[in-house]
Structure 1
Amino acid sequence: MLPGTPKRYPLVLLSSIHKRRYKKNSTLRLQKIPGDVLCIVTQGKGMLRIDDQVLQITPNQAFFLTPQMAVEVLLDSDMAEYYMLVLSSVTISKHKGSWSTHAEQTSLLPYGKIQLKNAKQKLDRVKQLHEESKARSKSPSELQMLFQSLIYLVLQDLPEQDELEEESKGIDQSISYMHKHFTNKIKLDALSDIAGLTPTSYSRSFKKAMGVSPVEYLNHVRIESSKQLLQQPDCSIKEISDSVGFGNEFYFSRMFKRTVGISPTVYVKRRELKVAVASCFRYENNLRSLGIEPLVEMNRYTYRNCTDEQNKRFMEAQLDEMRQAHPDLIIADYRHLPFQEQLKQIAPTVILDFSYDWRVNHMKIAELVGREKEAEQNFSQLELKVKYARNILAQTIGEETVSFIRLYSTIIRVQGLVDHPLNELLYNELGLRPGSCVPLGERNRQFALGSLPPFETDFLYMYKHLPLAEEVELFAEVQKTTSWSGMKAVRNNQTREVPNWVGMSWTPIGQHQIIDELLKWKA
């Protein structure tokens, strides 16, 4: 810089902020970078390749990416959730009391991975920024001030990045080696040498970073590759086992079933399988949305008005129906674990882990029956419908509040803002405002029938979880309380009885029906 030339400073501004989900795919997919982007991961694990560098994806991690980068993603988890902040960089200078902007761009942020320290503080700021941006409750200048406070917090961590990343860099290099050489025999000693650690330290550090041991991770890479080969005609299990580095076909089959839930031979025929479900989370409607009619539907729900013996006989009748149907595959949820052995005697049984994100198990079910493309279409169609409904509801409901309750024999349960697909749909995706009694940090909160506190909401949806005779009697008692009669939704006749949205919200079909009900009332 010439003497007397004003010193120039880089400045980064927020152009837009988005919350995104990336669904697992068996192959690496090239991502389009819309501009300079700061991605902050909140859920998910896997690998990110930036040009020739392979990096771990873990929660509470940030990546600064540019359009010039070749970026690919491979997830180990079924999905990843992240915030995408699209940035605009400028250079400014001050001369004789006046500020000027310049054409050249110099970023404040280092390219690639940024490890966030005290991640909760920064994620809270990101969530606030996203919510304020969606609600349009702050002016553009106020949003920029909030964003600058976030950048300040991120920049505070940067001087100490080297010491934090030294061990992580070695782990990343060993993972990159696995992806390049998984078809060969790979020893733990070789991986630990690449990472610059002893085998014991390497194994411990790897599991801490990735959640699994190096051997488990390598097997996962090999199995993901084998899925592509299994879809090719005239390729034997032994040939596939050899080509992805397992060698022993029996070990490969055992590891494949442990990871995927079904054997390689069943996986090959998965699009033609006769499938039954055992689920309290409406897996049958997940199948229907993928174009498959379930052979049998089993549900271990226990009816409150029945005796234990009656419920037991009901379950035995369902198991008998399952046996007589002769399914090729049974997909079950964790609530059916007590019946796992009985189900396995009928047909190969996959019990899916529980997740509050319904999309995770929808994609797992889709993979088990070879309908991944259909699942992606379901996600895309629902995303379009949510976007459409959000705009309509913003015009018709605006700033008014919405609440959902369930009436039981002794309690009223008020649905909250978090930890459930219905909560996510109503208050996050559709952007509805909660009533005064809606718990902000809980899945739901319940109150005794006579002790519902003063409750203000403009619109009230309710599901009565009761037999008809009992429902009429109990609801009459609820209507006598001052909390109920004083509610704005009740005074204005803005209450509506609906089906069980809590159960419906676990599937694409149910989500569409809930949105249709919301739009129908406000039409």
Structure 2
Amino acid sequence: MSTLDHHYWLKDVIFEIGHAGKGIQAPSWVDGSTPLARHTLLYLAQGAGRLTVNGQSCGFERDALFIYPPGKTMSVELATEPDSELYVVSFDWFRLAEQTDAGRSYMRELSFPLEGRLQLSGSLFKRYLYLLAAGEDQGRSPLLAQQHLSDLLQILLQHARPAAANELSDRLRSTLDYMQNHYREEIRVDKLAELARLHPSYYSQIFKKAMDKTPVSYLTHLRMNKAKEMLLTTNKPVNDIAADVGYVDEFYFSRRFKDTNGYSPTIYTKKQDLNIISLSSPYTDHLFTLGIVPCAAQVHRYMPLVTKALTLPKHESEPWETSRQAFSDMQPDLIVCKDNVLAKAKAHINDIAPIVPIPWASKDIYTHHCEIAELVDRRQESLQWVDAHNQKADRIRKKVKASVGEASAAICVVRKNDLRMYGTRNIGHVFYRSLGMAMPDRIANVQAMHRIGTGFNWISIKPDEITDFESDYMFLVCETMLDYQRVLHLLETNSNWKNHPAVRAQKLRFLEWEKWIVYAPHGIDQQLEEAERLLIV
């Protein structure tokens, strides 16, 4: 962490210790089924065993250090040795939310900058663990214990870093990356083994175990999937595509393509029943609106779609939890995703099917719909939805204007410690684009610098800055119940919020996060209907 980040996380914070102790086994509440109630730190000073977090198991050896936030499930199995020594500390931490002459209020924080296994050199942190455990045993001052915990967390924030992945996995990953970047070239197994610093036979063995196919088969599938991608997204002739993926002989390429897929390259471009997987819930919504049911997909709860739901990251920083086998079992012809998860998808399943990304932030919902329709040959269905949606929006817009006139609206999302005022994209689409409601001047000025629906989503503000967003209506979207409580606190105690025109006129409306964060065709059709109910009394 930077010095600035470090300062931020420790500024205006207080701690509350739930448990601090050591033993030869974990406490009874670390049972693998009950979600953690507090942030939990584990350090194994002696012994060995296994740690399981949210169903994922790993080795737990001497000097292993882990930290996890509330909500995770965790179990620890240690070898039955008398010298096992496990330190466990659970705690809550609270950040100053508001300070007045009458007092201070604090909000509980559920996140922490570090998570999972940590690497930390030195022994000072062990001293604070010992002091915390000894203090609980001997009934020492709670304030002193809080200071020990604060010192311990300061060391972690300043010096700890995520532990390196298994070295063998890193070596294997380096060869996968090499193949993905050099698939056009002739690649021999001994070259890959050299990159991994392993004997060729051993390298082939661990590759087959990890990827369920040989290096040669993996490379062939990479090439064929890249060829499929070009067949779908370009007008290149087959001979050019063959050369682009590393085959000099077009006929040999076609034969390998058919051997791998069961049909020729020309048949692939004419297939009307492509088996599609969607890795991004908005694009699943687009496919559903076009009349296509993916064989597996990331979904949102407001889409009446029956398919195999996949647990997948929404952003590149989130973990990938679905196995390769789950994808290969579906035998997909095509995988679509947002561009912000493409790198992670390629790292895990690039050999299983062609992965076609649709740019997310740089294009709006209508462009998304058009590009996906073009990709799956559903242009007519796309035009039909756009026409029906525009007619629906026109009808509701006229009714809203007849009811509220040329009203303005401010849209505020409350997430953790952040207040976000939205423009014409995502949650703002229905109010500003579909219904034509006016934006607060400050949002309008920022929006004017961007193409409508692209690039700009929201700006972050401080609580008192709500005065810059006067409007006839205010729509509030809270991600969690804690966020909802936070905004209720602002409405009760902050004069700028209490005096906002929409609050004074009782034109404050709360929207459901999961419904309104959806930026996709079926989603905005539902949002339009709800906006009509909220605005026409």
Return the TM-score normalized by structure 2. Answer: 0.44
